[in-house]
Amino acid sequence: MSENLVRVRFAPSPTGYLHVGGARTALFNWLYARNQQGVFVLRIEDTDRERSTAASLDAIIRGLEWLGLDWDEGPGKGGPCGPYAQSERLPVYRAALRELQDRDRVYRCFCSDEELERRMQAAKDEGRAWDGYDGHCRRLPAAQIAAYEAAGRPACWRLRTPPTGVTFWYDIVVGKREFQNEVITDRVVVKADGFPTYNFAVVVDDHTMGITHVLRGDDHVSNTPFQLMIYDALGWTPPKFGHMPMILGPDRKRLSKRHGAVSVEEFRDQGIIPQAMVNYLALLGWSIGASGDEVMTSEGLIKKFSLKKVNSSPAAFDYDKLEHINSQHLKRMDPDHRRALALPILAARGWSYDPAWQVPGASDQHTYVDRLLALLGGRFSSLRTLPDQLVFFFREDFPVDAEAWRQQVAGAAGRERLAALAEAMDRALPADRPAGAAAYEEVVRELAERSQLAAGELIHPARVALTGQGRSAGIFEVMEALGRPRVVGRLRRAAG
């Protein structure tokens, strides 16, 4: 490992899905690694044997892959610092514990949960502060220790933390942070079951994996001084730390399920595309600066990303802006990519092109969908709404907006106009040849003039008859994409 090579990591615990907070942490690490041409490591923190599940791990990996955040070392990839799951690194932690024992920086703690609970209660009752542990076993007489050991009493290992002084570091995001040592208690380093705690495993892994920058959520700030004490106890040089601000809900409370979607897969299911998710997440807590387009691809983000521009204040998640970024990506995407997104959505519904429709320029599903998406243009702003926007191009039993129908079609005038329009088209357009938008428009305008109507008085009823909706893309283009047989058929049907 070269000295100045950046090595960063994302270290989720497999106890749930990949939520936006985790996704953003992963993203920032990934962006930094890619920007610096460093290495991005994925490490699985599964030291909690109760809560870790294979299903969660799958979900997290799926989420990362969906976002396009590829890792250089980790599960499925291997690497020189493996294994990359903490549950498989027990020997590494054991060696580190031995080192701490040799240096007399840890001690055994025999306190049971009940005892701890009792002393905490007592402290509270007497109005004394209780900040996690009272150092009881630190002062245990040797004879007592021997007795407990002989009895086989379960014990964990606690770090002997310095009682006075200060521990500080220069945080990449907020600058100097310092803690008085007396507020840091002798936390557990190895549990009674022999597994390391999070704080211990993180330090050992970050060190043995050569991590140079630890970029994580702000909720880890208070763990940092304790971790620095572990580095110190082991005689290791700590990495640089950067704590990213939290992501808040619209109510400025920590973002959670009750705010709406929080897992990246939920966003995917709601029609958000990964490029947009990545783009939006990057904008949350980081800024491109005064100039520059906010809408960026991952490549653009990598080029622009800088830790210096990461904000120190928590940011509220804005679903509206995500939608906007999403629509921008969809709109700017090249036609092939747009079609690739649309095709599976249509296929899932069994909607496919039929040559009998006589649509000019369309010969199969691909060419037809290309036509439809071109016609939709900027209206194609979400994957979720796409089926509603296209249903009437594929089915005759498309939904009809009742209010629009009542206003435009239901009355005698509406029906008469539609009947007249149907006949005019039937007469003017050759039955065996596809008609273009201009041809439809000519018929409509001619009839309008002949009947002394405004063109709109034909157009609006036709739109409802043809699409079921009061609004749509340009109606003549819609007619062209529907094809003559269906246009005439639907007009007649609506005319009753």
**Which 88-147 residues touch RNA, going by CB under 7 A?**
109-113, 116, 129, 131-133
**Nearest CB to RNA, comparing residues 212 and 467:** 467
Q: How far is CA 295 from CA 18, 67, 159, in A?
A: 23, 16, 48
Stretch 437-466 residues interacting with RNA (CB under 7 A): 455-456, 459-460, 463
**Any contact of residue 183 with RNA (CB under 7 A)?**
yes
- Which residue in the list 257, 303, 309, 321 is annotated as catalytic? 257
Stretch 204-243 residues interacting with RNA (CB under 7 A): 218-223
15 in Cβ contact with 58 (< 8 Å): no
Using N-to-C axis directions, what is the helix angle for 455-467 and 475-482, rounded to 10°? 40
**Nearest CB to RNA, comparing residues 354 and 457:** 457
DSSP string, 287-351: ---SSS-S---HHHHHHH--GGGB-SS-EE--HHHHHHHHHHHHHHS-HHHHHHHHHHHHHHHT-
Of 72-80, 265-273, 427-435, 470-478, which segment contacts RNA by CB under 7 A? 470-478
**Contact map string, positions 311 to 350, toward RNA, x by CB under 7 A:** xxxxxx-x-xx-xx--xx--x-------------------
User: What is residue 493's three-state secondary structure?
Assistant: helix
Of 143-151, 232-240, 251-259, 334-342, which segment contacts RNA by CB under 7 A? 251-259
Told to judge if 308 belongs to the known catalytic residues of this protein, a careful annotator would answer no
Beta strands 106-109 and 156-159: pairing type? antiparallel
**Any contact of residue 29 with RNA (CB under 7 A)?**
no
- Structure tokens, 28: 């920032």
DSSP string, 76-110: TTB-TT---BGGG-HHHHHHHHHHHHHTT-EEEE-
CB of 350 to RNA, least distance (A): 26
Task: Please tell me the distance from the alpha carbon of residue 173 to that of residue 311, in angstroms, as a whole number.
Answer: 7
Site size for RNA (CB under 7 A): 91
Stretch 276-295 residues interacting with RNA (CB under 7 A): 283-287, 289-290, 294
DSSP letter at 51?
Answer: T
**Nearest CB to RNA, comparing residues 69 and 295:** 295
159 in Cβ contact with 105 (< 8 Å): yes
Stretch 362-401 residues interacting with RNA (CB under 7 A): 377-379, 381
Q: Which of 473, 481, 488, 494 binds RNA (CB under 7 A)?
A: 473
User: What is residue 39's three-state secondary structure?
Assistant: strand
**Nearest CB to RNA, comparing residues 88 and 178:** 178
Return the active site residues. Answer: 257
